[in-house]
Amino acid sequence: MDIRITDEKLVQQIERIAQREGCPEDQVIARALRLYEQRAEATGTSSFLLAISGLGSSGQGDVAERDEEILATETDAVRGWRLERDES
């Protein structure tokens, strides 16, 4: 994997820490990620993107293939989405 950091200030910060610690830049980044994960686990928080991943997941794997069918059967041209509930 090849990751490029385009934020020059961040690159300089990583280089300063690496020089001060006497280790390669990738080790600085690895340590920072480990500390981030440990802190997130300890506080019970996660990043925003991880928190919202899967939001709205239907559990159906063929939604993209059936999009037209789903829209035709589950929407009303005037009222929008309609909720079909089994009232029995």
50-63 pLDDT, tens digit each: 666 666 666 777 77
| Maximum CA extent, the chain | 71
Is residue 23 classed as helix, strand or coil in its secondary structure? coil
Residue 70: its pLDDT value, please?
77
26 is written with which tokens?
Answer: 């990738």
Residue 51: its pLDDT value, please?
67
Q: Would you say the pTM of this structure is higher than 0.75?
A: no
Give the pLDDT confidence of 24-70 residue by residue, as tens digits: 999 999 999 898 888 777 776 666 666 666 666 667 777 778 878 87
As a whole number of angstroms, the distance between CA 69 and CA 1 comes to 40
